[in-house]
Amino acid sequence: MNLPNTVRFLSEKNVLSLLTPADAIAAVEDTFLHIGLGDVTLGDIALLHVDAACRNNFHSMPAVLHHKGVGGVKWIPTYSNPLPGYPFSHGNLVILSDAATGWPLAVVGASNITTMRTAGGHGVVQAKYLCKKNPKVLSVLGCGAQAKAGIRGFLTQFPTLQTIRLFSRSRQPMEQLQQELNGQVDVVLCDTPSAALEGSELVLMASGARQPLVTAEDLRPGMTIVGMEGFRDLDPHITKAADKWYLGHRKADSRILESPVLNPNKQLDAADIYADLTEVLTGKIAGRESDEEIIVSTHMGLGAHDVSCAELVYRRAVERGVGQTLLLD
């Protein structure tokens, strides 16, 4: 542990040296389970706009992980209208504290945690419990950081995958990813979303698109579709055409229903939600029950996932003497 009057600063580089894709998957799975068991307190997300048009904001995502003895908050800027030269989001942080004493333990760079725990973390856990056994074909719509993290995560958990069918609006990133994965899995570059879905059992939506790329007409028996952005790139009608629609966490993901961006024209209905991942992992409600079911799973993320990853990074940093120790007094 830190000395009583210090806090440890862990950079993005430190995080990459201490956290693996498999770690992020395990942390997400553990968090979903312990939320279901009542071992996690989730705070409300606070959204703070900084401009009159409400396009740029900070939001905080707090959680207490009682089973790990820590509390924390993720602090993240989301700028849809950034100044020239600045990215959509950067400088993400997790502030980690000891739950017994209240003392701050660490300030952890969270941009890499965010990437790893999202498509490559909770996206993979969603698929792990909801897709058919031994999938061979994965469709990925998108070719950015989330899509790449998702692919890395899926390859660690599904050794039966033989083919990735990839669609992106830009050809060059797809070709680069195809080269990176050469020898690991067969990557097929597709010109349209529908072509990417051919023969697919498992679909990862990580496109960043602002219009539906997959519609109810694209659904086939046995498919599992995992959405990272709510219904920005998915047709909301698929929740009615599918056999089951799962959320990551009912309360946290209720913002999907409440948002005019994520739920245009109020097409989504809470009555169509079958269960969430916390209920599935604790055995309260079933996951996939047959190979023919069509399943859709969407999750917008929880600060508890980031806090869990940050706790693991902090613990390893202390063991290995990594990071900078800062004096607070």
Residue 272, domain member (yes or no): yes
Q: Are residues 91 and 160 both part of a single domain?
A: no
Residue 222, domain member (yes or no): yes
Residue 294, domain member (yes or no): yes
The CATH number linked to 21 is: 3.30.1780.10
pLDDT above 70 for 297: yes
Give all strands of the β-sheet with 224-227 in edge-to-edge order.
186-190, 163-167, 137-141, 202-205, 224-227, 295-298, 244-247, 275-276
User: What's the rounded mean pLDDT across residues 172-199?
Assistant: 95
Q: Are residues 83 and 159 both part of a single domain?
A: no
- Which domain does 101 fall in, by range? 6-113+304-327
Residue 1, domain member (yes or no): no
pLDDT above 90 for 127: yes
Residue 245, domain member (yes or no): yes
Q: Are residues 15 and 41 both part of a single domain?
A: yes
Q: Are residues 94 and 210 both part of a single domain?
A: no
pLDDT above 90 for 291: yes
pLDDT tens track for 97-123 = 999 999 999 999 999 999 999 988 999
Q: What percent of the chain has pLDDT over 90?
A: 82
Q: Are residues 237 and 282 both part of a single domain?
A: yes
| Structure confidence at residue 263 (pLDDT) | 78
Phi and psi at residue 179, in whole multiples of 5°? -65, -40
Q: Are residues 279 and 138 both part of a single domain?
A: yes
Q: Are residues 215 and 259 both part of a single domain?
A: yes
The CATH number linked to 194 is: 3.40.50.720
Residue 105, domain member (yes or no): yes
2 confidence band (pLDDT: 50, 70, 90) = low
Q: Are residues 66 and 185 both part of a single domain?
A: no
Q: Are residues 221 and 310 both part of a single domain?
A: no
pLDDT above 90 for 92: yes
pLDDT tens track for 207-265 = 988 889 999 999 999 999 999 878 888 999 999 999 999 999 999 888 888 887 777 77
Q: Are residues 183 and 292 both part of a single domain?
A: yes
pLDDT above 70 for 196: yes
Please give the Cα distance from 161 to 154 (Å, whole number).
Answer: 8
Total number of domains in the chain: 2
pLDDT tens track for 38-85 = 999 999 989 899 999 999 999 999 999 999 999 999 999 999 899 999
Q: Are residues 170 and 272 both part of a single domain?
A: yes
Amino acid in the structure at residue 274: Y
| Structure confidence at residue 229 (pLDDT) | 79
Q: Are residues 37 and 62 both part of a single domain?
A: yes
| Structure confidence at residue 48 (pLDDT) | 94
Residue 24, domain member (yes or no): yes
